[in-house]
Structure 1
Amino acid sequence: MRNKKNMSLLEVLSKIKKAPIVNFNPTNERMLNVHFDEIGLELNDNVISNTKVFSAWVEAKRVNAGAKFGIGGYDEYREIYSRSDHFNGTEPRRLHLGVDIWGPAGTPVYAPVEGSVHSFKNNIGFGDYGPTIILKHTIEGLVFHSLYGHLSVASLENLSVGQTIEKGQQIATFGNEAENGGWPPHLHFQLIKNMGDYVGDYPGVCKLSERGIYLDNCPDPGMLIEF
């Protein structure tokens, strides 16, 4: 059961007017629901272990469905993270805490609400975020953060901590596989209430045993996605 603070944030986000996070017209464009909860005959180890093959698989799914973007993944248990040691350990991290929007590298990303730059960083390493931007927002007295991962390196240029960001302002573009942590091009979008000591980074995948803790601090980012 959600606590009052979390419910208040969800209620506020459900009522405010948001700007689209990517260019998408629901009247004549399609958004494909994409899930990576299982590895099977089609999405297998041979696919996910090779970034080029994995990217081609994701792109074919989107194009064959006639969709401009693929979307999904919040609170989804994903075996695809076995492809990177970044997520492995005694208890591996497999539960996804954000929403992914899959599309071509270079796709513009926009701030859904006004805020300021909390921090930014290039989280280098196979499976990591690559270039990452975190914004801080205050709406009706509630402070929260939004994280944008797997961006282009150019997205981090000319940024400064505390910089004002307007609603609908372009803040980044999707990165390619060589710069985004070795993933098919996409945006990882996540909400975070309490950043703790994190700067330019915050876990986007957690251990299943810590699901309750992380989902409480990372409410459904779909509340800030509006098309």
Structure 2
Amino acid sequence: MNSLQKLQNFLVNNVISKVVDFNPSTDKLLPLDFTSNNTELTTEVLADTEIFSHWVNKKLTVNSSKYGIGGYNEHRTIYSRSEHFDTVEEPRRLHLGIDIWGPAETLIYNFYEATVHSFKFNDNFGDYGATIILQYQFDDLTLYALYGHLSLASLAGLAEGQIIPAGKQFASFGVKEENGYWPPHLHFQLMFDVEGMKGDYPGVCQFSKRNRYLENCPDPALILKHTFTSALS
């Protein structure tokens, strides 16, 4: 049985808590497309975080949605706004997590008991900003979850090895000065192996390395469907 099969089996037989507040009977999710198909996201919009944030907020308001969501295995053009994603041989454009777009200070909860693996303020334009990686033990499977674009207050008082109980509110969405200069949102990503990294792991990869990274980074919808139920397709 491979790691993905072990994860799927564990999730079927165990209680998984919410990641953010959401009432499926009253709240709505809005899928957001950040590929080249979205012609509304012009260079001018992406160049200014305030304008970009206004675009996201307007989409949520017009569609009466609590959150925008999406992005796993999505080839995104929006990363051209930051040199952080450019490399000499091939730019990084393939997104490896799911983004939940919503207001700054939106509360984030731990979906299952975990320990703090590491945390860091990745303070580059377009980077994660405040970041926490939690480590989960699911029987004989170790799983890591990266929570990116957090508030700096989320890092206060943390220590590696600290236990975060299931259901505990432990972080919140950061403002642009704390989240890598993005519209407020949570980047939520799963990894089987953090490859020796601390407080950081690629959330966007080169398309030529897609298979390798997707094998290590399973679809976060496996966890988020317990928060959003039928609202998450």
Residue in 2 aligned with 1:20?
18
Amino acid corresponding to residue 158 of structure 2 in structure 1: L
Structure 1 vs Structure 2 CA RMSD: 1.2
> What is the 5 A alignment of 1:14-163?
14-38=12-36, 40-89=38-87, 90-163=89-162
Distance 1:204 1:62 in 2: 24
Give the drift of 1:7.
2.0
Distance 2:203 2:15 in 1: 26
Give the drift of 1:39.
5.7
SS at match of 1:86: helix
Matched-pair contact (CA < 8 Å) for 1:14–1:223: no
Distance 1:4 1:180 in 2: 34
Give the drift of 1:178.
1.3
Matched-pair contact (CA < 8 Å) for 1:134–1:148: yes
63-72 or 6-15: which moved more?
A: 6-15
> What is the 5 A alignment of 1:170-181?
170-181=169-180
Distance 1:38 1:11 in 2: 36
Distance 1:184 1:9 in 2: 31
Structure 1 residue ranges (4+ consecutive) displaced by more than 3 angstroms after TM superposition? none
Matched-pair contact (CA < 8 Å) for 2:131–2:147: yes
Distance 1:139 1:196 in 2: 19
- Identity over the aligned pairs, expressed in percent? 49
Matched-pair contact (CA < 8 Å) for 2:97–2:190: yes
Residue in 1 aligned with 2:231?
none
Distance 2:166 2:223 in 1: 12
Q: TM-score, length-normalised on structure 2?
A: 0.94
Residue in 2 aligned with 1:199?
198
Residue in 1 aligned with 2:2?
4
Distance 1:105 1:40 in 2: 24
SS at match of 2:211: helix
Matched-pair contact (CA < 8 Å) for 1:146–1:190: yes
Give the drift of 1:10.
2.7
Give the drift of 1:78.
0.2
SS at match of 2:170: strand
Give the drift of 1:20.
1.0
55-64 or 35-44: which moved more?
A: 35-44
Matched-pair contact (CA < 8 Å) for 1:39–1:45: no
Figure out how many residues of one structure are paired with residues of the other and give that number. 225
- CA deviations 1:147-181 (Å, max 9, x no partner) are 00000000000101000011110110100011100
